[in-house]
Structure 1
Amino acid sequence: MGNVVALEEFRRALDQREERGPTLPRPEIRGADIWGRDYTKLEAVVFGLLKVREIAAYHAALRAARHTDRSDRQEFDSLCLNALEAAYRVEDIGPARLKAAIKPLKERLLDAMTEDNKRDMAWALVLVDLIEKSPTK
């Protein structure tokens, strides 16, 4: 009878693991990749925002696995797209619009920062700052 109970516990554990969904790999953050780019170019802005999104998604998945509250990933993606559009059109609409588009992204990253993820989130904030404060052509 002990084997049957253990088998049922094993099945329950498998079901709970499947409910959490796939785990994301830890984002690879290298200073050379971040500091070695020219953030006045759109390619570097895309890299930066995708890296910020990757970092935020990883830590949101960890938080959701611990607490069961699901963060609104679509809202964060929307903030990243708004920042990308503002960076793309910075010559037309000016740097003030870029700063306005970056501000809610920074606030969201700061709200998500904890003692456990502060190193990664600090890198994400550095990326966002580099995008915001890089001089325009």
Structure 2
Amino acid sequence: MGTVIALDQYRMRKDPGRELHTLLAPPPRINDGQIFSRDYSKLDGIVFAVLKIREILRYHVQTNEEWQYLALQVLDAAYHFDAGHSALLREATGSLKDYILEEMDQDNGKDMTAALLLLDLIEKAPRFRERQPAQDG
């Protein structure tokens, strides 16, 4: 004879790993307004971008954790950015971009493209800042 159970219990019986996965890594929330309203030449913009990339990769890439090291390299290179040594930032973002492109597929393409955009913004913003004339306040 059948028994009546709650829907949540049924889902857990059917696929117990799925429930745990969604609790640990919820789907990323990507908002164009959030992305384009930040200044990526400042540290808080860079930290936002790296955390958003982390959110995306944490959800879409469960089997490989190499991206965590690459994301820390990007954060470190951006924090220690020097106009004379911009190759370090370019190399760090390039490595993470290559990794993202390898992991990109038809299902996660939109989110991964947002991660690539954030990396471009991190890489290009310090150069843009260099060309701005200094403003005295």
| Deviation string, structure 1 residues 31-83 (Cα, Å, up to 9, x no partner) | 0100111101011101001101111111124xxxxxxxxx222x211111111
Residue 72 of structure 1 corresponds to 64
Residue 92 of structure 2 corresponds to 101
Residue 119 of structure 2 corresponds to 128
Residue 27 of structure 1 corresponds to 28
Residue 56 of structure 1 corresponds to 57
Percent identical across equivalent pairs? 38
CA distance in structure 2 between the partners assigned to 1:39 and 1:16 by the alignment = 41
Amino acid corresponding to residue 43 of structure 2 in structure 1: L
CA distance in structure 2 between the partners assigned to 1:53 and 1:84 by the alignment = 11
Q: TM-score, normalised by structure 1?
A: 0.76
RMSD across aligned positions (CA): 2.4
Q: TM-score, normalised by structure 2?
A: 0.76
CA distance in structure 2 between the partners assigned to 1:72 and 1:54 by the alignment = 14
SS at match of 1:94: helix
| Deviation string, structure 1 residues 66-106 (Cα, Å, up to 9, x no partner) | xxxxx222x21111111100000112762111001111100
CA distance in structure 2 between the partners assigned to 1:129 and 1:37 by the alignment = 13
Instruction: Quickly say closer, same or farther: Cα 1:32–1:19, change in 2 above 3 A.
Output: closer
Question: Is 1:119 paired with 2:110?
Answer: yes
Point out where structure 1 has 5 or more consecutive residues left out of the alignment: 4-9, 62-70
CA distance in structure 1 between the partners assigned to 2:119 and 2:59 by the alignment = 17
Point out where structure 2 has 5 or more consecutive residues left out of the alignment: 3-8, 131-137
CA distance in structure 2 between the partners assigned to 1:19 and 1:33 by the alignment = 29
